[in-house]
Amino acid sequence: MDMKVAKKKLGLKEKYRLMTRDLGWEPSYRTKDEVFPYVKYEGIKVHDWDKWEDPFRLTMDAYWKYQAEKERKFYAIIDAHAQNNGHLNITDGRYLSALKVFLQAISPGEYAAHKGFSRVGREFPGVGTQVACQMQAIDEIRHAQTQIHALSNYNKYYNGFHAFADARDRMWYNTVARSFFDDAMSAGPFEFMIAIGFSFEYVLTNLLFVPFMSGAAYNGDMATVTFGFSAQSDEARHMTLGLECIKFMLEQDPDNLPIVQGWLDKWFWRGFRVLGLVSTMMDYMLPKRVMSWREAWEIYGVENGGALFKDLARYGIRPPKGWDDAEKSIDHMSHQFMLGLYQWSFGTSLHSWIPSDEDMDWLSAKYPTTFDKYYRPRWDHIRKLAAEGKQFKNFGLAKLCQTCQLPVVFTEPDDPTISCHRETTYKGEKYHFCSDGCQHVFENEPEKYIQAWLPMPALFAELDGDIGKWMDWVSLRDGQDNGDYVGSIDQRNFEQWRGLATSNS
Amino acid sequence: MTVAAIKEYVGVARDRVENFNGKQLVYASWDHHLLFAAPFLLYAAPQMSFRELVEGPLTALVQPDPDGASIDWAQVEWLKSNQPWTPDFDRSLADNGVGHKDQIRFRTPGLTSLAAA
Amino acid sequence: MSTVFIALQANEDTRPIIEAIEIDNPNATVNRQPAMVKIDAPNRLVIRKETIEEQIGRSFDLQELHINLITLGGNVSEDDDSLTLSWAE
């Protein structure tokens, strides 16, 4: 009689061991140093790579299964969006500007992260790390593709989406994100992990993806919610990888602590500057707002970031150096940045606008100590100029920060009435910064940052200040992609098509 | 500190003055007048007189501010590299020591139309 | 005390999972936001396979959570039966 023996199902831990560590081998005809030549020069000491483990214990077979499921869910919604004129279901055409920032600044960053993880997956010797980095590399290219694919549905109808890659590389408000990723990708593998895996994923992506995507849902944009949450479901794994990686470095050797702390200080601040864009998307570009940038910072910065650094204190880690300056800027940054976008809107591949009375009342309720005092008088004056037919355009262009590359729209941490002026001289050349944080980053590695390609100086060095040539070069179509939303082609089309969709006339 | 690298790492400064077609960059900022979101970036020949810089591009740029027309340039307090400084209006930028990428600031006590409410 | 959290997409798949989390974590707070649900708990949150299976009436692989997971905060520890989020006390 045959006994049917149930095939023993592997436990999670056993399966993980078989499908990660057991895939590795010891090199026999080349030394380990020859096979992994980039793993020591940053000074991080690792004694046992097998101590690194993915807490989710995700193996490739399960990975493909769940990712396929996520893709099916994603495309079901993207198809429905395209078939049902989803672009007309958004609350207001102003919302499109948030999507343009996202596509121009963030999606190419996903692609950069893909390249970076492909590289460090090869450079790290540990098999667990290699497998996790391989998964993350595939995740990141999926994010870039799904985001571009979802937003291509908007490109069929609206301006400012068509040349996102040029905008990313060349446009002054996007090079903050580009330089962040270029900086990480030109660092060693461990620093890359801290930059992307830890600072960006763990400390910062929650602020980017979670409240903003919930905001997209609130504004009727199911396409964006879907790619956002689909991407963020991978981020949960990436964050966990980033946190594991940092704990692994700290547990491997006490000499690693000062190096790791230095990277945390640097990458927290660099990431925080990228979030300047996000603060503006949340406070100004969502017609219906879920929460303010300040409220999001309370949850994901103060509460969650605070918990994280309290947890890491057992290894001797302290909160990043710029933490207090970050807190001081929270109630200012979105306003400072939106005022900049508006006055330089002749040079943006997106529309900006003067906030309405209702918007300003919301902002003053959310920012009771700053908005009415500092920012409302400026908006009121800008509105007065517009009413007189003199739209405020600042043709002075802007001083950029040598490190983060943003226009220096930021003020002294303790005096919001004056620009933050920071400069240094290195090898006879003058360099300017937006903050102490960016100056510290520069001074730790000046040879790296003196090479920075800064978009506004480049307009003069490369094009002798010719704005028309510059517009061609950044693929900006004057009168279509740029300027005030009010009176734009996007506004006219959105309102006309929405009218057609909701009436029979 | 140096850049961690597998061999000697030397960078080349990109925004050197020789890359600017015989001209130079000058940054100018009006203290406490943040209608202008960031310090202005000006592009000028080093032979340009300080007066030309002030009465030309700088005067034009500050007009959108309600205090713009009220500036008495003879009374303005100047700073260069954040230190008090007195320019000679009739001499060139070069003669005034305004080098490539220098930051000049000016203060206009009493002009506070858009100052903190 | 620090807060750990997990955020899930708001949909039919996650409704019973959220109920299971509430059963296993009486201290947890459930915040419903547009398209998502964020569950906070002081220091520690446990998600148990068995409780989810009781809610949905079929077997459940804890890794299925990845499909609808949005984000989390805390150190992760997972085995076949449970996933725990925690901060060092």
Residue range A96-128, pLDDT digits in tens: 999 999 999 999 999 999 999 999 999 999 898
Whole-structure pTM value: 0.95
**Cβ neighbours around B22 below 10 Å, total:** 10
pLDDT for A154-172, tens place per residue? 999 999 999 999 999 999 9
Q: Do C28 and C41 touch, CB atoms closer than 8 A?
A: yes
Shortest distance between the Cα of A48 and any Cα of chain C, in A, equals 20
Residues in B closer than 8 angstroms to A417, CB to CB, are 32, 34, 115-116
| Backbone dihedral region for residue A413 (phi beyond 0: left; psi -120 to 50: alpha; all else: beta) | alpha
User: What pLDDT score does A420 carry?
Assistant: 97
Chain A residues close to B15, C-beta within 8 Å: 429, 454, 457, 461
Under a CB-based contact definition with an 8 Å cutoff, are residues A344 and B87 in contact?
no
Q: Nearest-CA distance from A153 to chain C in Å? A: 21
List the single residue in A218, A240, A314 with the smallest CB-CB distance to C88.
Answer: A314
Look at residues A183, A113, A109, A176 and name the one whose alpha carbon lies nearest to residue A442.
Answer: A183
Chain A hits for B34, CB-CB cut-off 8 Å, are 339, 374, 378, 411, 417-419
Name the residue in chain B with its Cα closest to that of A424.
B81
Q: How far apart are CA A441 and CA A447, in angstroms?
A: 11
Cα–Cα distance measured from residue A198 to residue A464, given in angstroms and rounded to the nearest whole number? 41
Mutate to test the interface with C, among A222, A229, A235, A238 (most CBs of C within 10 A): A229
For the cut 80, the answer to whether the pLDDT of residue B117 exceeds it is no
Contact (CB, 8 A) for A495 and A93: yes
C-chain residues near A236 (CB < 8 A): 66, 69-72
Say if residue A1's pLDDT is above 60. no
Radius of gyration of chain A (CA): 24
Going residue by residue through chain C, which has 89 residues, state the pLDDT in tens, using 9 for 90 and above: 899 999 999 999 999 999 999 999 999 999 998 889 999 999 999 999 999 999 999 999 999 999 999 899 999 998 899 999 999 87
Chain B touching partners, 3 or more CB pairs below 8 A: A
Distance CA(C89)–CA(A357), nearest Å, equals: 47
> Which of helix, strand or coil describes residue C47?
strand
Task: Count Cβ atoms below 10 Å from residue B37 Cβ, excluding itself.
Answer: 24
Q: Is any Cβ of chain A less than 8 angstroms from the Cβ of B13?
A: yes
Residue contact A397–B40, C-beta within 8 A: yes
Closest CB to C70 among A57, A233, A307: A233
Contacts (Cβ under 8 Å, ≥6 apart) of A34? A27
Please indicate whether chains C and A are in contact, defined as at least 3 beta carbon pairs under 8 Å. yes
Q: Which residue of A has its CA nearest to B15?
A: A457
pLDDT at B113 over 60: yes
ipTM above 0.95, yes or no: yes
Please judge whether C78 and A217 are an interchain contact, meaning their C-beta atoms are less than 8 angstroms apart: no
Q: Which residue would you say has higher pLDDT here, A203 or C9?
A: C9
B83 touches chain A (CB under 8 A): no
Task: Confirm if B37 and A336 have CB atoms less than 8 A apart.
Answer: yes
Rounded CA separation A183/A196 (Å): 11
Which tens digits make up the pLDDT trace of A422-478? Answer: 999 999 999 999 999 999 999 999 999 999 999 999 999 999 999 999 999 999 999
